[in-house]
Amino acid sequence: MELPTIQSDACCSLAGTVIDEAAAARIAPMFKALGDPVRLRLAALIASQPEVCVCDLQGHFTLSGPTISHHLKVLREAGLIGGERRGTWVFYWINPDALQSLSALLQPTVPAAS
Partner DNA sequence: TCCTTGTATTGATGTTCATCGAAGCACCAT
Partner DNA sequence: ATGGTGCTTCGATGAACATCAATACAAGGA
Which residues are near DNA by CB under 7 A? 1, 32, 36, 38, 53-55, 58, 62-74, 83, 85, 87-90
79 binds, among its own copies, DNA, none (CB under 5 to 8 A by kind): none
CA distance 6 to 9: 7
Strand-pairing partners, residue 53, are 91
Residues that bind its own copies (CB under 8 A): 1-7, 9, 11-21, 24-25, 27-41, 43-45, 47-53, 55-56, 59, 82-85, 89, 91, 93-96, 99-100, 102-108
